[in-house]
Chain A
Amino acid sequence: MKVGYMKLQLLLIILLLVVTMTACDQKAATPAGAPGKWDSEKIVVHGLQEQDFEITLGDLKKLPAVTRRAESTRANGKKIKVDATGPLLDTFLQQYGKTQKDFSCVRFSAKDKYSIAVPHDILVNRPVILSYINKGQPLEDDAQPVQVVIPGERAMYWVGSMNRMDFETGDSRKPANKVVFLDTAARNLPQGDYQYYDSVDQAIKTQDLIAKYADINDPTVARVFMKAGDGLQKNETKTNFLSAFIKMTGQEAPKFLAPQLPQGMHIKGLLLIIYGRTAIFNYAEGTTCLPKQTFEDKEGIAFSQIVKQIGLAGGNRYKFTSADGKSIELATTDLGNGGLIYQNDQGAPAFICTGPSGKKMVDELLSIEVLP
């Protein structure tokens, strides 16, 4: 009996030891942003500024982090699961006034010289996490400093030991090279009655707008990007977009809507549409959400601010066209103070700048085109 009791005691001690060892083996979860030995590891960034520059893992750790559970499949069919913690690529880009959607592709390269270009369609549809913690623990050494995680995409995009990001705006998806002001353009388009609850407002057809001011047959357009003054961003299929209306008067105007589209797909306070290489910008909505600037006695939006919002292609010369078809061409050096878009006495957008060649003005501004 005594021997049996001793054996039981021994067994309990062994069990206790096993439990203790197991518990000790459980590492405490690493919080996002906690310093680590790889914090000085450098990542080269190309395509965001004039010159390449370097950031460190420590810099990324200062950004707000998210944690996302994701699963992916390797080439060998093996599934990998992660709980990835790190900043979103969009959070990183926000510091430079950009979003993922602004790029035709982003190429991530690894220390072992593996690289992959994440195309625009993925950038538009998926979050990209610059992960430095997996399942609460720092990454394995061979994945340091950053593991790219794109939930919903195959493991070939999940670049480990990432040390370079190339942001590209060329290739298949080219940035807009023309901006049309909706405020002016809508005046030159047929407007029809649109029953909106108890009121009858005026609306234009998106099809008319695009047919007149953009390349409606652009084969590269599969989706149309729209942004509202309140920050809401949506991509709509070309078919849905072209079958809709923009309500130009009344409550919540300008509003993208259609009787056949659910209300959840309508967009109030429409600021921007990007259809292929043409951007449609609503100046009046811009004044409600963009920083204002004053030039002489006029208050408006800096031309550079509109260029930034649209991601307008870089160029040395611009063509400013008014509603009556008259246009002037200005080199960037002619812009002097940069130029201002403001509202004229008739309520239409207008342009003014003062450069080395004097004051230049375009009344009832219809469009600005980047010249090659």
Chain B
Amino acid sequence: MVVSKKYWLIGICLVLLGLVAGGMAQGVNFRFPRYIPPLKVVGDVANSLTLQDPGGVGKLEKITFQGTRYQAVKLADMINAAGPVNKAEQICLVGLDGFTSVIRAEGIDDCYIAFSAKNGWEAVNLKHPMSSNAKLLNEIVVVSDGSCRDFAFNVIDPDSQLVQITPGQLLTRPLTAFPYPEGKAVVENDGKEYESQVFTKRLVFKLSELTAVNDGENLLVMDEKGNYRLVDDGGYFEVRDNYINYLQPDTRTILERVKGVIVHPPAASITDAYYDAKHYLESGNKVLMVVLDGLTYHQYTSAVANGAAPFLEKIGSATRAVGIYPLETNVGLAAMLTGKTAEESGIAAAGDQVLKVPSIFAEAHRLKKQALLLEAGPKLLETELQPVSSTDQNGNGSADDELFDAIPANLDKGYELFMVRFHGIHDSGQRCGESAEETMQAISATDKYLAEIVSKWPGKVIIAGNPGTSDQLIGAAAKFNNHAMFVPYWRVK
């Protein structure tokens, strides 16, 4: 019992000692606060990192190089923590003064990053030339081999892919440090006004530095959330950590995380379906709207060239219309039903169902016109109208045939807005690929359905492809390319 008391006393003394020592340490810290400048890991990484703690990522190892001992973290651990996108090819170690050493991404097992009061963040590469051991680092740029198109900044025109470049690759190119005006603040002290004009320095480039763009030419800039702006070449593209922004200082237009740019964009868009249908309804016409999920302009031209779509060939050349990003079926459908982009319609991702704006069905209701929506597959959107869905009852892998069978019974029921959505081309494209024989067969089957329905419809007809498939990728992962981004569009009769 006495021994126990003794230990208690010793314990209490140790705690008190600890408190005193801790307090002193705090005091020292208070008098000599330690600032660790940020070190960023940017470029072709899934998550850019900002480190202000040497042990923040990876395990600190004790290493000795040329007689100096360091506590350092492996460069490979840092890069892995940021999640390199695709295959990292180069690592750029960038110092505060702009000194940059570039090393190959493979063979960095003996590369470390240390922090010291004297040299700040410092590269300690045991086997590389001395010149790679940059000091006062402020940025590590990961540069991939550029093969990851989903991550890249893409510039396309209706016929071709013009540029595919990643943020990491852009950060290794000459960029302009642009002082973006943020504003001017004023504070009054002792009757005198003190002003502060604020700018933020942005690393920017003009699109014309990457590809030929004529002065004043229209560009359609789209971000990964489906916002888009039709702009001219007066704006700048900013490389920010691991993504690209569009900036227009004159109008303070900012579009964050740009996915791609369409040069010479066609005026037609899938949103035209709404405006055309509305115009026809207001003009007293009956309207048949046919939505072909998954049919791209590229597929349409291939199908016509292969003789797989005789009806679509007969009704005349399709207009090439711009689709909506992200490439999701519900996002495209919402654009056609509302005339709005994802930003305005409220349908910007696969799971979104509730429209933020009225659809063409509300317009039909306002005009006292009866409307019907027949669709193959599950209901995608909550609209003012309850759709009638067909299911694959015969198990042939598509509900399009069941949908087609349901159409004749409804054609003469007095509907003035009759909408049909086929889904078979989308399913086939997802399953087999956009150019596969099976997908061409699905287009051919749909073509026959269209020939039947259109011949029986007594009014105007709108037919539109709804983008959504390309190499089995959909949504934000889908490729922003000239195949996936354009769809065929017809106004018939």
Interface residues of A (CB under 8 A from B): 75, 112-119, 121-122, 124-126, 152-154, 156-157, 197, 222-223, 235, 237, 239-240, 251, 258-266
Q: Point out the residue from B183, B267, B283, B340 that lies within 8 Å of A154, measured CB to CB.
A: B183
- Let me know if A263 and B271 touch, CB within 8 A: yes
* Chain B residues with CB below 8 A from A260, complex form: 218, 267
In chain B, residues 300-351, which have Cβ atoms closer than 8 Å to a Cβ of chain A?
A: 322, 339-341
Chain B min CB distance to A53 (Å): 22
- Docked-complex contact B251 and A223, CB < 8 angstroms: yes
Contact A114 B252 (CB under 8 A): no
A154 contacts B198, C-beta separation under 8 Å: yes
Q: How near does chain B come to A46, taking the closest CB pair, in angstroms?
A: 15
Residues of B within 8 Å of A121, CB to CB, are 250-252
Question: Who on chain B is nearest to A197 by CB?
Answer: B279
Cβ-defined contact, B185 with A156, below 8 A: yes
Please name the residue on chain B nearest to A236 by beta carbon: B230
For the complex, is B241 an interface residue (Cβ under 8 Å from A)? no
Taking the complex as formed, is B393 at the interface, i.e. its CB lies under 8 A from any CB of chain A? no
A264 and B185 contacting across the interface, CB-CB below 8 Å:
no
CB-contacts of B213-242 with A (<8 A): 216, 218, 230-232
Cα distance A156–B186 in the bound complex, in angstroms: 10
Residue-wise interface mask of B (165-193) relative to A, using a CB-CB cutoff of 8 A (1 in contact, 0 not): 00000000000000000111111110000
Tally of contact residues, B, Cβ under 8 A: 34
Residues of A within 8 A of B198 (CB): 75, 154, 156
Contacts of A263 in B (CB 8 A): 269, 271-272, 275-276, 339
B64 part of interface (Cβ distance < 8 Å): no
Q: Please, which residues of chain A bring their CB within 8 A of the CB of B253? A: 125
B254 within 8 A of A: yes
Q: Choose one: A112, A154, A261; the contact of B182 (CB below 8 Å).
A: A154
Given A125-B252, A259-B267, A251 contacting B283 (CB threshold 8 A): yes
- Residues of B within 8 Å of A222, CB to CB, are 250-251
B244-255 interface bits toward A, Cβ cutoff 8 Å, 1 = contact, 0 = none: 000000111110
Q: A113-B188, A121-B251, A261-B230 are in contact. Are A156 and B272 (CB under 8 A)?
A: no
Q: Is the CB of A237 within 8 A of B232?
A: yes
B232 CB contact (under 8 Å) in A116, A152, A239: A239
CA distance A276 to B10 in the complex (A): 83
A294 to chain B, nearest CB (A): 32
Q: Which residue of the partner chain B has the closest CB to A238? A: B232
Can you list 22 A-B pairs with a CB-CB distance of less than 8 A?
Answer: A113-B188, A113-B189, A114-B185, A115-B187, A115-B188, A117-B186, A121-B250, A156-B185, A197-B283, A222-B251, A235-B251, A239-B216, A239-B218, A240-B218, A251-B283, A259-B267, A262-B267, A262-B268, A262-B269, A263-B271, A264-B339, A265-B230
Closest CB of chain A to B270's CB: distance in Å?
10
Contacts of B218 in A (CB 8 A): 239-240, 260
- Judging by beta carbons under 8 Å apart, are B186 and A116 in contact? yes
Question: CB-nearest residue of chain B relative to A115?
Answer: B186
Determine how close the nearest CB of chain A comes to the CB of B130; give it in whole angstroms: 33
Contacts of B283 in A (CB 8 A): 197, 251
Say how far B118's CB is from chain A's closest CB, in angstroms. Answer: 25
Q: Cβ of B339: which chain A residues have Cβ within 8 Å of it? A: 263-264
Closest Cβ of chain A to B12, distance in Å, is 24
| Cα A237 to Cα B235 with chains together (Å) | 12
Closest beta carbon of chain A to B139's beta carbon, Å:
15
- Are B251 and A125 within 8 A (Cβ)? yes
| Most-contacted residue by chain A among B232, B252, B268, B283 (CB, 10 A) | B252
- With A121-B252, A240-B218 given, is the CB distance from A264 to B279 under 8 Å? no
